[in-house]
Structure 1
Amino acid sequence: MAFPKLTMRKIREALRLHFDCGFNHREVARALGTSPTTVGQYVRRLERAGLSYPLPSALGDVELEARLFPPPPRVEGERPAPHWPTVRRELARKGVTLDLLWNEYKAEHPDGYAYTWFCTRYSEWANSLPLTLRQTHAPGEKLFVDYSGDKVAIINAETGENREAELFVAVLGASNYTYAEATWTQQSSDWIGSHIRTFEFMGGCPEIVTPDNLKSGVHKPSFYDPIINRTYGEMASHYSVAVIPARSKKPRDKAKVEQGVLLVQRYILARLRKHRFFSLTEANSAIATLLVDLNNKAFKKLPGSRRSTFDEFERSSLKALPSQRYQYADWKVARVGPDYHVDIDVHYYSVPHRFARQQVDVRYTNGTVEIFHQGTRIAAHVRSSRRGHHSTVNAHMPPHHQEVSGWGPQRLYDWAIRIGPHTAAVIQHLLGGRQHPQQAYRACLGVLRLGKDHGNARLEAACCRAIDLKAPSYRFISSTLKNGLDQSPQTKTDQASLPLTHPNVRGPDYYH
């Protein structure tokens, strides 16, 4: 049994018992709880240090320890060894290799060890570190996905400007079969699209997808219960896969894709570094070509390649793709206006009037808009790109255009009358210019609320100017007030001169 080094207090006590009290080594060892050999070593160290007992009173513990335990003399011809923890830390940096570190070591110690000794000793030291869990994955079980830190440069052919595209990488757990592509962003639409193309490239779906905790995939990271982005979860449900994110700051949870990203950077990006791309399609075409070579490249220590292992073991374990491709959709939480319409990209879609002023969930794609209340779909529309217009279903309207939640044409018109005749004329024009008066509620409210910000007098003047210039709209009146044009001299115009000739215009009597 090896005994630990004694404290300086006990070493002094051992020397006192031996020299002052005449105890032999065994007796001293029994008194101090150590071995006779250890006691003998301290006595011999005292003699080799040229000291005698009693010790000089001025000799402190630090000096005594330095005299008893001097550093070992350097053997002639011995070379300095590298500091292996520093080597390991530097290797974690991007682009740093053992060859680079050895060259730096030799520059500092010209008489240092050769490259083979350097690599061999580092490998032995690294293998002595605490063991990590080796992950094994069943065929078809897991797909690991992530973005590369390195990006793809793409040149705008018209301006010559360089723009960097993101590089998406996906790796199957059992076969290491790899997919990669360039996308403009890491936003939800590109993130979902890359997953869809990955499943189609592999010809099936795994049981589990393991992403990092980027916002497009994970709305709220958590060790116990992460909240998945709603669109991402909808896509996973469509393909019958489970999303289990890696733990935050735990790269070993997705070691497969970490290694896959490194491989794609070295095998694909490094080979394309001198190429000039002028479109995303051109870049992805080059990536796809090298991706075939990467998956067909033979393993160094295992038989076969990624492609052969995938074909032999993993392809048959993947779940079949659904009959229809997932259609990307965004979700939005919105509040229904008093006109029972919901604003999506400045186009207004109707819901049944009883849901006015209530909060709803909106799912919208390039072609459709669906509106849900407490999980139940209450309306569906064809997506329109006409900004400022309405998509209204007649069945959603209240009987006889009755007021919705207290708002109606009469209330808006009475409010305008209190401000002034020109404001009332503008409100009359807005209400009469739509197929249904409810479609003009937002514009009317916008105009009337300008009086709270700028004063009723200025609003009345701005409405007068709008009538003069035949531009009675919220946008024109707001701009007039913002730029102070309502305060410039102008010719007063009677409200009756507002040109309203189409048959949809209603007179003041309509609101009484």
Structure 2
Amino acid sequence: MANTLDPMDLKQIITLHLDGISNRRIASILGISRNTVNTYMQLFSASDHPLGELLELDAAALSELFTSHTTVDTVRHNELMLYLEQANQSRTHPGFTFQHHYQQYFGQARDPYSYTQFLEHYRRKYPREKGSMKLDHVAGEEMYIDFAGKKLHLVNRETGELIPVEVFVSVLPCSQYTYVRACMSQKRADFIDCCTHALSFYGGAPKAIVSDNLRFCRQPCQ
């Protein structure tokens, strides 16, 4: 059980937490037990409101949301946390989308969170690292090319057979203008054909075509 706190105390807990202060230190500053701080942080995390939004609420709204509670629905929150761990492990898999994983979570959860809160909790649990390198591109200088990691399929109209095809992708990095083409293989002949169609699509040739470590692009000319 946690002690019931005044709404202003709740706002102080949120503010100190957003400032990077530990729960132990927050308890010391406010003169309350660490268990009380831990419980209210769980309540905040399990609510349908981001911390910044909670700070904007008035005292009456905060009282209605939290001060009548002494325990948190840990089952609902822990259920989400376990699923987010699974989703994060799949993050690098080809074809990953948050929408797909939310639909799976929604179908399995006893009392699912909304999609917005699903994303908010994921970002809190796995904050993105900010990139430190900036790449500047000049229009017309480069065309990036690669094959997608996941194959698509053509359907034989007569037999219904699924025929796997490679997916060639090219992009002009300055404008992000993208061209996509299906082909039967990643062999040199298909690769050259895809590049030819990409250049025709763009209506010109860049100074350089940059591949992402394609095997036959590393082979010496014979």
Q: TM-score range with shorter-chain normalisation?
A: 0.5 to 0.7
State whether residues 151 and 166 of structure 1, in contact with CA within 8 Å, keep that contact through their aligned partners in structure 2.
yes
Q: Which 5+ residue runs of structure 1 have no aligned equivalent?
A: 1-37, 42-47, 49-68, 220-228, 231-330, 332-512
The alpha-carbon distance between structure 1 residues 115 and 196, as it changes in their structure 2 partners (threshold 3 A), is: closer
State the shift of 1:106 in Å: 4.8
Q: Does 1:78 align with 2:73?
A: yes
Distance change (3 Å), C-alpha of 1:97 and 1:163: closer
Q: Distance in 1 between matches of 2:212 and 2:189?
A: 17
> Structure 1 residues 85, 207: closer, same or farther in 2, change over 3 A?
farther
Query: Counterparts of 1:100 and 1:161 in 2: how far apart (Å)?
Result: 26
Give the superposition deviation at 1:150.
1.7
- Asked whether the 8 Å contact 1:105–1:112 carries over to 2, the reply is yes
The alpha-carbon deviation at position 200 of structure 1 amounts to 2.5
Q: Which residue of 1 aligns with 2:151?
A: 150
1:424-446 deviations in Å (ceiling 9; x for gaps): xxxxxxxxxxxxxxxxxxxxxxx
How many angstroms apart in 1 are the aligned matches of 2:107 and 2:162? 38
| Counterparts of 1:110 and 1:166, CA distance in 2 | 40
Q: Tell me the equivalent position of 1:192.
A: 192
1:185 is displaced (CA, Å) by: 2.1
User: Structure 1 residues 107, 201: CA separation in 2 closer, same or farther (over 3 Å shift)?
Assistant: closer
Residue equivalent to 1:218: 218
Give yes or no for contact 1:144–1:172 (8 Å, CA) kept in 2: yes
Measure the CA separation in 1 of the matches of 2:178 and 2:102. Answer: 32
Answer yes or no: is the 8 Å Cα contact 1:166–1:182 preserved in 2. Answer: yes
Structure 1 residues 198 and 105, CA gap change in structure 2 (3 angstroms): closer
Equivalent position of 1:209 in the other structure: 209
For residues 112 and 152 of structure 1, the distance between their equivalents in structure 2, rounded to whole angstroms, comes to 34
- 1:92 is matched with 92
Describe how 1:243-282 pairs up with structure 2 within 5 A: none
* Cα drift, residue 87 of structure 1: 3.0
Q: 1:88 to 1:138 in 2, by over 3 A?
A: farther
For the structure 1 residues 135 and 78, does the alpha-carbon distance in structure 2 shift closer, same or farther, using more than 3 Å as the test? farther
Once the two structures are aligned, what percentage of the paired residues are identical? 24
Q: Give the AA of the match of 2:146.
A: D
Structure 2, unpaired ranges of 5+: 1-24, 43-69
Residues 146 and 214, structure 2, Cα contact 8 Å, conserved in 1: no
- Equivalent residues in 2 for 1:270-309 (5 A)? none
User: SS where residue 138 of structure 2 aligns?
Assistant: coil
2:11 corresponds to: none
The DSSP-based 3-state class of the residue aligned with 1:216 is: helix
Scaled by the length of structure 1, the TM-score of the pair is 0.26
Give the drift of 1:114: 2.9
Q: CA deviation at 1:173?
A: 0.6
Helix, strand or coil: the match of 1:210? strand
| 2:153–2:162 CA contact under 8 A, matched in 1 | no
Greater relative contact order structure (CA < 8 Å, 6+ sep): 2
Rounded to whole Å, the distance in 1 between the matches of 2:107 and 2:135 is 39
Structure 2 CA distance, aligned partners of 1:150 and 1:173? 23
Q: 1:111 to 1:182 in 2, by over 3 A?
A: closer
**1:90–1:96: 8 Å Cα contact kept in structure 2?**
yes
Q: Which amino acid aligns with 1:171?
A: V
Is the contact between residue 144 and residue 210 of structure 1 (CA under 8 Å) also seen in structure 2? yes
The answer to whether structure 1 residue 136 and structure 2 residue 119 are counterparts is no
- Taking a change above 3 Å as real, the CA distance of residues 193 and 103 of structure 1, as seen in their structure-2 partners, is closer
User: C-alpha offsets along residues 470-502 of structure 1, whole Å, 9 cap, x if unaligned?
Assistant: xxxxxxxxxxxxxxxxxxxxxxxxxxxxxxxxx
* Amino acid in the other structure paired with 2:129: P
RMSD: 3.9
CA distance 1:165–1:156, change in 2 (3 Å): farther
CA distance in 2, matches of 1:100, 1:141: 37
Q: CA deviation at 1:90?
A: 2.5
Give the 3-state SS of the residue equivalent to 2:215 in structure 1: coil
- 1:144, 1:209 → 2: CA distance? 6
Distance 2:97 2:151 in 1: 18
- Tell me the residue number matched to 1:174: 174
Q: CA shift at 1:143, angstroms?
A: 0.9
Answer yes or no: is the 8 Å Cα contact 2:151–2:165 preserved in 1.
no
Q: State the 4+ residue runs in structure 1 displaced beyond 6 angstroms.
A: none
User: 2 CA distance for matches of 1:122 and 1:201?
Assistant: 39
Cα separation, 2, equivalents of 1:152 and 1:124 = 37
- CA distance in 2 between counterparts of 1:162 and 1:88 reads 31
Please say which structure displays the higher CA radius of gyration: 1
Q: CA offsets, 1:153-210, max 9 Å, x none?
A: 25397x8865433332211111122223233321112212222232222222212222
Shift of 1:138: 1.6
Question: Contact 1:141/1:173 (CA < 8 Å) preserved in 2?
Answer: no
Q: How many residues align?
A: 158
Structure 2 matches for 1:308-347, cutoff 5 A? Answer: 331=222
Question: Separation in 2 of the partners of 1:185 and 1:112?
Answer: 43
Q: Which one-letter code corresponds to 1:97 in the other structure?
A: T
Alpha-carbon distance change, 76 to 143 in structure 1, aligned in 2, over 3 angstroms: same
